[in-house]
């Protein structure tokens, strides 16, 4: 995807920081996985046996284990899997250091601290579980609420699907829409004590319970209830409707006799320190990546101070102060990525499905996930960092409200933290797909794309006010743009099939150049000045021009096989350096391959394959970014994988990590300071 070429990158090359391109160094290229870590898939629940030792579980049977409070995680061998499906694990609980239970589409138990797990042969799914000993426990799922008294050997059905909570070995409640039921004999018998409709419950003491009622109609609002008489009567005490998306609460957890926490389907966390009377929001939602009906987040407090939350697209949070503040133990998120852009200050963004956004201020060592908006069926396809504060992104979307702008262009003026949808002037009530966005400054930008409604119309839109308003720039007789770039407000290019479209007057008129590529498919172009540029064909053809497309030099990627390989993204850094991202798939596997050149494309050197056996799709590389002289990032089109190599140094004085201590480090520090980034804590106190 096209990005603005800034002078700092050219300066780095001029300083002599060039890539080493001998064959040995190419083979020795080491890729570091930056996202998603530690989970490579969606998480549903977390449980700790003490403050340091814990587990996280999720989709496709993923099991993570830590012994150091979440600083490091190891992929644990998955639960026994069935050949016909990948089993999600939605709940996990240990009753002591050795005995634990886990459930999802199947239910498992362990008697050796999780070293091995046995499939219990449970008929039905397990959404939630509550075990009060190694023998007695309850499972709630599509088979209703069921009880075992022999460690899972046999089960009896108690009633409808419900949430269960016990205050001790004998006294507990289960809650559901038809009311609250209590047992005083470890669940052998139950009696209805209230008609209050609840979805979740937690004991703070023998008398005080916290309940949550989830509205089962979208957007899934919640209400917090409190009982001071063991569940007989309930009072609504709190609700929070400040978030635009779903607020469906998925877990409520006791911290101590006075404190309790709750988490919603998108990672928003609320805490009460007065036994549920008042509540404060201590963690904002990560982003609406799930529907309100999916139990996507879990909470656990092994001590009154230390707590953990896990869920959503592979995110793990930790608190050290009883839930008042949270830090992110994970990096990145498991949603498909379509574009990535990185700056020499360490600031970068990656964008993709569901208007998902990852941002970093440390060259990708930590990626923070969020979502720009909650418009259904809308995705990002391209992003551009204009400066350290301003980011723009475009993609596919439509206007659900006739008065609303199509969900295809967004702008952030705070480094990717919050986003504003802009689109006045783009045809309303029409589905659009914009493949590329390019700004030459904060105000002047262009969108390249087409309608998705019949009759399909290609279009180039222009803005001169930062994207607030747009006007049709082309003359109505253009091809379908795949990738576009502007040199200034007048001169620009876009690719369309086998043709390069060129303008000298802001798209009022155009000229065309035909490509010498197979089937006329060109995925990307990058011009570094008004004459010099590269173009990338889908089947591996690299074209270079020094005369604005009048003539093309055909360059080849060694080892590229058009039978099994596809080329997706090109990054031109200066007149000599460039990089290309490709993807390979055949019966032997899938992997990504990147190539780079420092001699204008006379030689392209293949870098080490991106091939991680733990995830089939990790090597589906769709986009990349790179620095002149070193530093390269590759983003997968599947499940949020970002791979990096030659990441700049983290030397303390070299604040932007470019290998040189200079005034740019001061600018990078000031940017981090202004955006309240953790890196501004320069002395680490």
Model confidence over 205-258: pLDDT tens digits? 999 999 999 986 555 678 999 999 999 999 999 998 887 777 889 999 999 999
604-615 b/e (C-beta count within 10 Å ≥ 16 → b):
bbbbbebebeeb
Model confidence over 313-349: pLDDT tens digits? 889 999 999 999 999 999 998 889 999 999 999 999 9
Q: What is the structure's pLDDT at 83?
A: 44
35-74 b/e (C-beta count within 10 Å ≥ 16 → b):
bbbbbbbbbbbbbbbebebbbbbbbebbbbbbeebbeebe
The mean pLDDT value for 250-275 works out to 95
Closest residue by Cα to residue 6 from 484, 385, 347:
385
What average pLDDT does the structure give for the chain?
87
Distance of CA 478 to the CA centre of its chain: 35
Of residues 313 and 659, the one with the higher pLDDT is 313
Q: Which residues pair with 359 in a beta bridge?
A: 349, 368
Residue 203 in this model has a pLDDT that exceeds 60? yes
Structure tokens at 346: 């360490």
Residue 544 in this model has a pLDDT that exceeds 90? yes
The mean pLDDT value for 542-550 works out to 92
Structure tokens at 669: 């520090």
* Neighbour count for residue 366 (Cβ, 10 Å): 19
The mean pLDDT value for 116-141 works out to 91
The mean pLDDT value for 626-633 works out to 91
Q: Kindly indicate the confidence band of residue 358, based on its pLDDT and cuts at 50, 70 and 90.
A: very high
Percent pLDDT > 90 in the chain is 62
- Say whether pTM exceeds 0.75: yes
Q: What is the structure's pLDDT at 512?
A: 93
Contacts of 604 (CB under 8 A, 6+ apart): 542, 555, 556, 557, 558, 580, 595, 596, 597
Q: What is the structure's pLDDT at 60?
A: 80
Residue 427 in this model has a pLDDT that exceeds 50? yes
């Amino acid at each position: 995807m096209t990005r603005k070429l800034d002078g700092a990158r050219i300066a780095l090359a001029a300083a002599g920081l060039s890539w080493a391109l001998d064959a040995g160094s190419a083979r020795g290229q080491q890729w570091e996985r930056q996202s998603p870590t530690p989970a490579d898939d969606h998480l549903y629940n977390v449980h700790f046996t003490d403050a340091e030792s814990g587990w996280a579980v999720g989709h496709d049977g993923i099991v993570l284990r830590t012994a150091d409070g979440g600083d490091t995680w190891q992929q644990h061998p998955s639960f026994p899997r069935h050949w016909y499906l990948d089993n999600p694990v939605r709940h996990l609980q240990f009753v002591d250091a050795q005995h634990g239970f886990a459930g999802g589409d199947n239910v498992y138990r362990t008697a050796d601290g999780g070293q091995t797990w046995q499939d219990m042969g449970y008929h039905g799914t397990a959404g939630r579980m509550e075990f009060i000993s190694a023998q007695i426990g309850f499972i709630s799922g599509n088979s209703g609420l069921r009880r075992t008294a022999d460690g899972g050997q046999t089960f009896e059905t108690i009633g409808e699907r419900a949430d269960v909570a016990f205050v001790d070995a004998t006294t507990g409640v289960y809650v559901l829409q038809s009311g609250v039921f209590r047992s005083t004999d470890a669940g052998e018998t139950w009696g209805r004590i209230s008609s209050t409709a609840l979805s979740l419950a937690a004991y703070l003491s023998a008398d005080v319970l916290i309940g949550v009622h989830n509205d089962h109609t979208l957007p899934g609002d919640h209400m917090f209830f409190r009982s001071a008489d063991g569940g007989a009567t309930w009072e609504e005490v709190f609700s929070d409707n400040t978030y635009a998306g779903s607020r469906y609460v998925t877990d409520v957890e006791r911290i101590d006799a006075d404190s309790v926490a709750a988490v919603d389907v998108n990672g928003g966390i609320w805490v009460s320190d007065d036994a549920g009377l008042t509540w404060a929001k201590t963690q904002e939602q990560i982003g609406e990546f799930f529907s309100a009906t999916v139990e996507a987040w879990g909470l656990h407090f092994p001590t009154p101070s230390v707590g953990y939350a896990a869920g959503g697209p592979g995110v793990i949070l930790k608190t050290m102060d009883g839930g008042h503040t949270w830090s992110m133990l994970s990096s990145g998120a498991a949603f498909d990525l379509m574009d990535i852009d990185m700056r020499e200050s360490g600031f970068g963004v990656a964008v993709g499905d569901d208007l998902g956004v990852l941002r970093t201020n440390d060259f990708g060592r930590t990626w923070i996930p969020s979502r720009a908006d909650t418009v259904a069926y809308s995705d990002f396809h391209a992003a551009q960092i204009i400066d350290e504060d301003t980011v723009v992104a475009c993609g596919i979307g439509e206007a659900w409200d006739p008065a609303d702008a199509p969900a295809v262009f967004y702008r952030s003026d705070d480094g990717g933290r919050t986003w504003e949808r802009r689109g006045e002037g783009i045809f309303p009530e029409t589905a659009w797909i914009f493949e590329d966005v390019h700004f030459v400054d904060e105000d002047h930008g262009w969108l390249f794309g087409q309608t998705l409604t019949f009759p399909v119309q290609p279009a180039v839109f222009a803005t001169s006010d930062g994207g607030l308003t747009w006007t049709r720039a082309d003359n109505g007789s253009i091809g379908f743009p795949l990738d576009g770039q502007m040199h200034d407000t007048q001169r620009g290019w876009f690719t369309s099939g086998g043709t390069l479209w060129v303008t000298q007057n802001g798209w009022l008129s155009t000229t065309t150049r035909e490509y010498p590529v197979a089937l006329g498919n060109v995925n990307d172009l990058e011009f570094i000045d008004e004459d010099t540029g590269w173009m990338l064909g889908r089947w591996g053809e690299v074209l270079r021009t020094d005369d604005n497309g009048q003539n093309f030099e055909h360059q080849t990627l060694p080892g590229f096989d058009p039978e099994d390989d596809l080329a997706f993204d090109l990054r031109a850094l200066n007149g000599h350096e460039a990089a290309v991202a490709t993807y390979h798939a055949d019966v032997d596997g899938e992997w990504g391959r990147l190539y780079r050149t420092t001699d204008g494309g006379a030689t392209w050197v293949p870098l080490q394959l991106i091939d991680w056996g733990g995830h089939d799709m990790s090597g589906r590389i769709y986009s990349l970014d790179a620095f002149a002289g070193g530093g390269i990032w590759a983003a997968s089109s599947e499940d949020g994988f970002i791979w990096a190599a030659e990441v700049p140094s983290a030397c303390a004085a070299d604040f932007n990590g470019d290998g040189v201590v200079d005034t740019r480090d001061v600018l990078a520090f000031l940017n981090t300071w202004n955006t309240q980034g953790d890196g501004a804590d320069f002395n680490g106190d």
